[in-house]
Amino acid sequence: MTLAITIGVLVFGAVFLMLQRGLVRIILGFVMLGHAVNLMLMSAGGTFRRAQPLLGYTSADTASDPLPQAFVLTAIVIAFSITIYMLTLAATGTDDDTEDAS
């Protein structure tokens, strides 16, 4: 439940930020959206199993699912690189497009 609420709050903030004009705010919105989706991936593995997934140490009933964690790791790397690229786009060019289009 906590996860669901957190995801909801993050998506709310992300959508609000993405609807702004400035590119930096849009980027911050994307960062939040990325976090929301990463939490979704985490919750997809089931939050009730928390033990470390080590063969021989923990039984399969309590071990957490490593696959969604690997997904999240991959997704974080990709989102990180695109965020950097977008920040570069925000810095190049004349202005941050905060004015109304003329």
Contacts 24+ apart (CB under 8 A), 74-77: 75/34, 75/37, 75/38, 75/41, 76/34, 76/38
Nearer to other proteins, 52 or 65 (CB): 65
Q: Is 10 in the site for other proteins (CB under 8 A)?
A: no
Judged by CB under 8 A, which of 24, 28, 40, 63 binds other proteins? 40
Query: Is the distance from CB of 33 to CB of 48 less than 8 angstroms?
Result: no
Tokens of 86: 């977008």
- Residues 47 to 86 in contact with other proteins, rule: CB under 8 A: 67-68, 71, 74-75, 78-79, 81-82, 85-86
**What is the C-alpha to C-alpha distance for residues 37 and 79, in angstroms, rounded to an integer?**
11
**Contacting positions for other proteins (CB under 8 A):** 18, 23, 26, 30, 33-34, 37, 40-41, 43-45, 67-68, 71, 74-75, 78-79, 81-82, 85-86, 89, 92-93, 97
